[in-house]
Every structure is written in structure tokens, then in C-alpha cells.
Amino acid sequence: MILMDAVLLLVAIWASYALRLSNWSPAITPERVILAFFAVAVAIPVFIRLGLYRSVIRYLPEAAIWTVLRAMMIATMCWVIIIFLTEMTGRGIVPRSVPVLYFALGTLLIGSTRFAAKWILNAGTGMRRDEEPIFIYGAGPRAAQLARALRGHGNRYVMGLIDDDPANHGHDVGGYRVFPPRDLPILVERYGIREIVLSMSSIPADARQAVIARVSGLGIKIRSVPDISDIVDGRYIVNQIREIEIDELLGRSFVPPDNDLLARALSGKTVMVTGAGGSIGSELCRLIATWKPEKLVLFEASEYALYRIEQELMTKGGPDIVPVLGSVTDEQLVRRTIRTHRIEVLYHAAAHKHVPLVEANVLEGIRNNVFGTQTLAQAAAAENVQSVVLISSDKAVRPTNVMGATKRWAELIVRQLAIQARSSGSKQTFCAVRFGNVIGSNGSVVPLFKEQIAKGGPVTVTDPDMTRYFMSIPEAAELIVQAGAMSEGGDVFLLDMGEPVRIGDLAENMIRLAGFKVRNADNPDGGIAVKVIGKRPGEKPFEELFYNRDHAKPTAHPKIMRADASTIGHQDLEGALVALENAVAQENEQDARTVLFSLIDGNDATLQ
């Protein structure tokens, strides 16, 4: 490059004399040769100092032309000084217009050759056979930056940009044509587009959802650029592209967590989580570990799940991690663990939650969900644990299956111990947090649908008209901890789950987000089909979070409500527990079912 620049500068000097003298063969005198040598000798160090040789030509930015201008301006001024000194010694006169022409021609030659080389080097990055044509949705600086980052890298070839702003349509941004969204179906077919990347993380959630819904019907993959906060936090690199998550279509508004509530509940405390290796339990552990508790005890019945969450937390550093392998039905182990580690806060997430499996294993479901909760809660009360938070379920409301009924019993057990603590003047608090499905949890439909789509379908749904509430696991964990911090004892907190989602729509949206079309009457030959297999035992067509929504009271957090405790009725829970225990001990499944539902049938709606 230095040799090329030296030749170009000499050409610029020769052309300057030729233009000034109107003679394409100007006389070559010793004085002019010396001055030409000085011009090159002065210019090259200036170019080096200003970084003209540090740039990689293939990625030379357009702004480099200003560096070339500055470099030529400084080099020309230095040359003019040398010319002035030589003229003072009487060694010749240089026409005054020659330096001006030299500056203009030198800038043109130095700049144009660099950008011509960049164009030649990048000319080979046209779409190859192994590259997939894509569009980027968005036409801002980030979209242009992403397009440049993808140019010549990986197996994506950017065909253009899509933008909602009519002012951008038909224009070029960063060298890419901007098209209107209405042309997407034609563009997808014309160019064989297989993927659209969204570069619009800063727009409002409702507008983003509208774009995703519009694009997802085209039968192509939809991906997104990470939010700038994720990039700054180091969770993504700047040109990494991620898949659109299904929760981005659920329409949930984000409410930042109350850090005061989280700190009050966790900081400096000894915390224990049962079911620590499960979906909710493990996310609770991750959240708790970031709030500097004194110690975190992981209580889990599955050896492998306990090993995984322990290793994950240990590698991140933080509080003392204590893994405890065992079941919450083991009273001696539970009491010894709470006493040994002086547990102050306890989150009870251990439960059998898979509705069909619990329906087929009634006695084990009752033993773990009901008597496990009783054992844990009584041990916590005896060992003076400050706060006990039960993780409940929307299936506990007017339950039609064993799992939901056992979770309702667990709520009643926790409420009874809260009443006893209040009557004895204890400052212990017992509460339950009730919410619906979490996306990606073990046994939920979302991982099942993803697996079925990856295999080419069909996607099986029990009833397409069935509706369910959905929430992301991190959001659920944050709200659980914040609800526990607000507990006054005996509360049943209800998390705002937004609007229920139709399962048929969920399946179809996931198929479209994966880049496939839905096989139906309008598209009988291609895509992935949604297959209806019929309702499973105990399943409800819809879930409820409230027995009576009018009795739900707001709290300081907009996403957390509290059931009205003034409507609580009184029932013989202790007698029912004895009858249920006898039925389980005799392994009489029918009697156990009868006792299980008899307590919560009838006037249970007056409870909470």
C-alpha cells in the first residue's frame, strides 16, 4: 500500500504540472524531481501517523474518506512549506495552482483506489450456493450494522431491508434496498427467502408482536437480534442472532422487579428451596444466588437434577451452596436440614405436577404433594422458620384432577399453620403463590411442541379450543420472591398471568415461528399438521386463577394480587388429613380420591 501510494502521489504531481502548464509532457527538471521526492517523503509518514495503513481494506468504512482528506491536507501543507523554502534559496519556482491541484488529485487517487480495492475484495461475497437469502426487518443504524456484519460471513445473504416507515421505502440504507412490509409475500416467493431477522428490539412490545404475527404467517423462520442490554451484559455478541421465543407472542407486559422486596426477602438470609432441580425450583435458586444470601440449601429428590443445579451455581460463585438429597416426605431429614442450617426462608417448589401422571398414580401424588407439604410446613413451624412460601397452581381452583386437588390441600395446610402462628403471636409467615403454566417447564406443552416440530410433526393437542395461562420461568421466580416478601401470613397470592392462550393457536404459532406452514384445508400438501388426540383424564377446558375474582385485592406490585382472607371458611382439615392418611396407608385409591375431593367440593368457593 505504501508503494502504491508513492506511485499515485508522483502521478498526482505530474498531472498537476500537466494541467497547470496545459502540456501533457511537462519538462522534468532536477528541481521538480527533488520536490516530487519531498512530496512523497512528507506524505507517507503523515499517512502512517493518521492510520491509513491500519485499516483492513475489505472492511474500510465510508468515513475513511475524511481521514484521507485530512492526511492529504496536512501532507500538502508540509509540501508547500518545503516549496517555499526552496524558492527562498533560488532553486526554482512552482506555480501556485500546482499544490492545489496536487491536493485535489492526490485525494481522488488515494481515496478512490482504496474504495475500488474494497469493492473488488467484496465482489466475491455475492450469494453462494450454500448461502440462504434473508431479509432484515428494520432500516435503522442497527439493521445496517447487522447487514454489514453478515456480509461474507456464515451462510446468510442479506437481500434487503423491510421497514414500516413509508419514508424509507425505495431508498438504500447501507447499500441495501428498503421494501415495504406489504411486498413481503411477493419478495419471499421471488427470492426464495427462508428467514427474516428482526432488528427492532427497541420498539414497543405491542408493535413488535404485530410484526411477528404478520411475518409468522409466511412459513419462514423468524429470528431476532439481541437487545442492546444483553450485548452490554455479555450474554450475546453483537452479530449473534437468536430465535424468537414463543413468549414474545403472548402479549405480556414487562414490569421491572421491586429490588427492595427482593433484597428484603433474600439478602443475608439462609434460604432453602425444595424441588431445587425442577423448572421453578432451579430458576428460584438462580435468582436467590444473585441476591447474596448467607447460604442456599438445595433440597431435591432427583440425584441428577440436584447435581446439575449444584454444579451450575458453584461455577458462578456466590453464596455457600449446600445440596441435600432426599424427599420432603422424610420428616427426620427435613427437620435435621432445617435445624442444622438454621433456615430462615423456605420456598416449597417440590411437587408432582404432571396432571396425567399424577392421575395414574393417585397415592404417590397425595403422599408427595399433600403429606410432603404437611411434613415440611410443620417442621418449619417447629423450627421457627421466618417465612414459608408454597408454590401452588391455577389447577388448585375448582380442581377436576388429583394434581389440582392435592395442590388445593397444600394451600389449606399452609393457611392452617399461618392461622396457628398468628394466634400464638409468632412472627412466622406462611403463604401460597398461585399461578398458571410456565413456558419451558418440565412437562409443559412448549418443549413437547418444539420436539414434535423438530421431528417434522405432527404437533399433538388434546383439544385446540382449550385455553391455558402462560408465563416465563424467570418472571414467575421474581414474582414468587416478591410475593413472599409481602406476606402477612395466610395469604394466597395470585400472579397476573395476562390473557389465556388458546392451545390450538399456540401450536400453530410455534410451527410458523419454526419456519414451517401449518397443514390444513387451505394447505393440504405441505407444512406440519396439528393433530387432535382428545382430552386426557382430569384435564379442564380452561384454567382459573380465582375462586372469585371480585375478592382479589391489589398489592403494591401490579402483577401480584392477594385473595381476600375475610372470605375464608372453616373446615375440619385435621380430621380430613387423618382420613386421607388412613386411605393412603391402606393403599385404597378409591377412598383416597373420595376423601381428597370431599374436602374441597361444595363450599370450597368460599375459601379463597
Every domain of the chain and the residues it spans: 2-123, 132-244, 269-446+459-499+545-606
Beta strands in 320-466 (DSSP E): 320-325, 345-348, 387-391, 429-434, 437-439, 459-461
Q: How large a percentage of the chain has pLDDT more than 70?
A: 82
**Which tens digits make up the pLDDT trace of 540-554?**
676 666 655 666 788
The dihedrals phi and psi of 407, each to the nearest 5 degrees, come to -70, -30
**Which tens digits make up the pLDDT trace of 214-262?**
776 677 777 777 655 555 454 444 444 555 555 555 555 556 778 888 8
- Secondary structure letter of residue 245 according to DSSP: P
The residue among 598, 597, 491, 608 whose CA lies nearest residue 547 is 608
CATH superfamily of 269-446+459-499+545-606: NAD(P)-binding Rossmann-like Domain (3.40.50.720)
pLDDT of 605 strictly over 50: no
On whether the CB atoms of residues 300 and 309 are closer than 8 A, the answer is yes
Q: How many CB atoms lie within 10 A of CB 321?
A: 20
Cell representation of residue 177: 434496498
Q: How many CB atoms lie within 10 A of CB 244?
A: 22
- Residue 521 is predicted with a pLDDT of 75
- Residue 338 is predicted with a pLDDT of 95
Q: How large a percentage of the chain has pLDDT more than 90?
A: 27
Q: Any idea which fold 132-244 has?
A: Rossmann fold (3.40.50)
Rounded mean pLDDT, 109-135: 73
277 compared with 506, residue with greater pLDDT: 277
| Whole-angstrom distance, CA of residue 418 vs CA of residue 403 | 23
The dihedrals phi and psi of 272, each to the nearest 5 degrees, come to -125, 135
The DSSP secondary structure of 135-161, one letter per residue, reads EEE--SHHHHHHHHHHTTSTTEEEEEE
Q: Tell me what the pLDDT averaged over the chain comes to.
A: 81
**Which tens digits make up the pLDDT trace of 422-481?**
888 888 999 999 887 777 666 667 778 878 877 777 888 888 888 777 777 888 888 899
Helix (H, G, I), strand (E, B) or coil at 447: helix
The residue among 474, 469, 381 whose CA lies nearest residue 429 is 381
Cell representation of residue 2: 505504501
**Which tens digits make up the pLDDT trace of 524-538?**
777 788 888 887 766
**Which tens digits make up the pLDDT trace of 47-91?**
888 888 877 676 576 778 888 999 999 999 998 888 888 776 666
- Residue 330 is predicted with a pLDDT of 94
| pTM greater than 0.75 (yes/no) | no
**Which tens digits make up the pLDDT trace of 195-218?**
888 876 556 666 666 777 777 667
List, in order, residues 6 or more apart from 271 with CB less than 8 Å away: 288, 293, 295, 296, 297, 343, 344, 345, 346, 347
Helix (H, G, I), strand (E, B) or coil at 430: strand
